[in-house]
Amino acid sequence: MATVKNYLGVDARHLNINCESAKTDRRLQGILIDLVLEANDFDVPAETVAEEFQTILTEAKCRMRYQSMSYEINEDFLNYDWNEKEEEFRNEAYKTVKTEILLQGIISSEKIFAAESELLDEACRIAHRQNISLEMVIDFMGKELTPIKNDLQIRKAIDLICSNAVYK
């Protein structure tokens, strides 16, 4: 686990935003996370970045193949130069992995957890949104609701960054 620092009190004065807008706007949250990423220098495992790169490339190819099929135009996919996108995808993979390490480091150092009541509340919201039973959500997510737990911890870490940034 990487030692993460400089995530409390990130300087956001130049952005002309406030705490409430940062807490609700994903784009602004991304900007604040970028500032924290810049302020932290830790190793990002090349093997993990390579795996993420392959995932991004595979997803892009599947999207392109699907779009080509839906428009009955296979030429786009067949003639597409994936080398042009390689650097962009590698940068995206590096940033994704570094962000995951950063957020997991914050979760660990701040001992961020999700209470059982929070997990059940979120599972109920999912059930309501999807118009399915709570039992179906639990069956799909597992009894421990681990995907929901991970998501709540990440949201709390991002909220911590936003709440403690320096505005105006």
pLDDT tens sequence for the chain (168 residues): 677 888 888 898 888 888 888 888 899 999 999 999 999 999 999 999 999 999 999 998 888 777 766 665 555 555 677 788 899 999 999 999 999 999 999 999 999 999 999 999 999 999 999 999 999 999 999 999 999 999 999 999 999 999 999 987
- pTM of the predicted model as reported, rounded to 2 decimal places: 0.85
Residue type at position 54: Q
In angstroms, the CA 119 to CA 141 distance is 11
Q: Where are the alpha helices (DSSP H) in 25-145?
A: 26-38, 46-70, 75-79, 83-109, 116-130, 134-141
Residue with tokens 């597992």: 142
